[in-house]
Amino acid sequence: MTTTSSQVAVIGGGIGGLAAAHRLARHGVQVTLLEAGDQLGGLGTFFPYRDRWVERFYHCVMPTDSDLLRLLAELGLEDSVRWRKTTMGMVVDGRRHRFNSALDLLRFTPLRFHERVRFGAVSLLLRRLGRGRDLDTLRTEDWLRGLYGRRVWEELFAPMFGSKFGSSFGDVPALYLWQRLGRERNVATRGYPVGGYKAIIDALRASIEDAGGTVRTSAPVRRLRSTPDGSSLTLSDGEVLDAGQVISTVPLPMLRRIADEELASLLPRTELSYQGVVTGAFFLRRPLTGHYWTPVLRSDTGFDGVVEMSALTGPEAYGGAHLVYVMRYTDRGSRLYARDVEDIAARWTAQLRNLFPELTPEDVEEVRVFKAPFVEPVYPLGYLARRPPTTVDGTTLRLATTAHVYPDVTSWNSSVKLVNDVTDRVLDRIPTGTSPRSRPRSGGRPTRPRTARGAG
């Protein structure tokens, strides 16, 4: 059996794991990152299309993503984000509407005239109306139904936000929506990095390796043992990694599966159900909606929304093709999730063409379908008080997962913010003088990596 050791092991090579390993390595800590898949990036990972790399799941940066933007600056990528004003559409009962200005709202026929006026007024005040209220223990349905009225809830919000959290959306704390409105308060402006998210992932890998850290793909952790004295990670029957401390970024149900019996008994008891997602990426020969985001309500489609990525990036990002994602958030045990990807691609292509009859079969160049089983928990009421801590008593394990970012919205930004905090605590427990390189004090500015080298 081979046994290696590392001061800190990081489980998971999504943005959380990469940002954690980058920060530790830049502080002189001997760090090893282990990713189960053959590519880094987690939910932000990519696939090849022509001569470029495209995200499996649509991603954009918001101007309010300050922690992520700070990380990009550290990587020398601060100028790589291209910002653009984007617009929003809405499809209801198969009919398309614009949904951006007061005039659009006044013309929005799915609502009655007085409902449109109330909708506009309440939406303008919504963030202010939530301030100072205990929204964590208030059901979203109770909050929105009270403010907007029964019909707006039933006709618009229930199907729209229900598509994200399934039938329990009404029960999700109103705080989630309030925070989301805060992140998207400048809803028109979004950003996308030149070279796509892979450019950020590659730069993080290069930074970790330049600072002496190790990044391994196709290295699933199969067993994890953690005591107050250290942790041990079994990678395969023949390989074990001993680590002084461990940061796990994998969703809690997956962590439970790899924890040994003793650790499993110490893990947070919070029972959370998670939403997964199915997306279809359509490469088209023509633009579709012109809007970045278009929720699709009651229109006989298996998907709930359309994101036209090329409305943000321009078709040049995809060699001239227009990239449109359609998506449905769903439980990993659902019938849709179990369906074959080719079957989903065929059904969703037919449905998209039904919705947009101007789209000819020749306009659809390529369709790819992707699934992810754990996107984020369906946060229960009062989750602030029940949120599991990032420490696990009696171990050297720390947790930094989407179950911990609440009330922040699940995003690259919130993962970076979370791991900044978790790595601070990890650094505090590393005695100075024990690392092979001199370690700047926590919060010290890490050195900039030399170059971003190819990764995959």
Ligand X SMILES: Cc1cc2nc3c(=O)[nH]c(=O)nc-3n(C[C@H](O)[C@H](O)[C@H](O)COP(=O)(O)OP(=O)(O)OC[C@H]3O[C@@H](n4cnc5c(N)ncnc54)[C@H](O)[C@@H]3O)c2cc1C
| Residues in contact with ligand X by the rule CB under 6 A | 11-17, 34-37, 42-44, 57-60, 220-221, 249-250, 254, 258, 277, 279, 327, 372, 375, 402, 410-413, 415
Between residues 15 and 144, which has the closer beta carbon with respect to ligand X? 15
Amino acid at 291: H
Q: What is the b/e burial string over 167-179, where b = at least 16 CB atoms within 10 angstroms of the residue's CB?
A: eebbebbbbbbbb
Q: How far is the CB of 111 from ligand X (least distance, A)?
A: 27
3-class SS of residue 50: coil
To ligand X, the closest distance from the beta carbon of 173 in angstroms equals 18
Taking the least distance from each CB to ligand X, the nearer of 178 and 406 is 406
Rounded least distance, CB 410 to ligand X, Å: 4
H or E, element range at 351: helix 341-355
Tokens of 429: 């427990």
Distant-in-sequence, close-in-space partners of 292: CB < 8 Å, separation ≥ 6 = 60, 86, 87, 88, 190, 307, 308, 309, 311, 312
Residue 3: phi and psi, rounded to 5, are: -125, 125
Rounded to an integer, what is the distance from CA 448 to the centroid of its chain?
26
Q: Compute the distance between CA of residue 319 and CA of residue 49 in angstroms, rounded to an integer.
A: 9
Q: Which is nearer to ligand X, 28 or 276 (CB)?
A: 276
- The nearest distance, CB 375 to ligand X, in angstroms, is 4
230 to 225, 227, 241, 248: CA distances (angstroms): 9, 5, 11, 14
Smaller CB distance to ligand X: residue 330 or 396? 330
* Pick 217 or 349: Cβ nearer ligand X: 217
CA distance 35 to 23: 17
Torsions phi, psi of 286, nearest 5?
-145, 155
| Structural contact between residues 96 and 316, judged by C-beta atoms closer than 8 angstroms | no
Query: Smallest distance from the beta carbon of 223 to ligand X, in angstroms?
Result: 9
Between 22 and 59, CB nearer to ligand X: 59
CB of residue 369 to ligand X, shortest distance in Å: 12
The residue (of 28 and 280) whose beta carbon lies closer to ligand X is 280
**Alpha-helix runs per DSSP H in 252-340:** 252-258, 261-266, 310-313, 335-338
Q: Can you read off the two tokens belonging to residue 209? A: 């390796």
Select the residue whose beta carbon is closest to ligand X and give its number. 42
Tokens of 306: 């359309």
Q: Which CB, 250 or 297, lies closer to ligand X?
A: 250
Compute the least distance from the CB of residue 222 to ligand X, in Å.
7
User: Minimum Å distance from CB 24 to ligand X?
Assistant: 15
Chain length of the chain: 456
Nearer to ligand X, 16 or 268 (CB): 16
Query: At its nearest, how many Å lie between ligand X and the CB of residue 387?
Result: 15
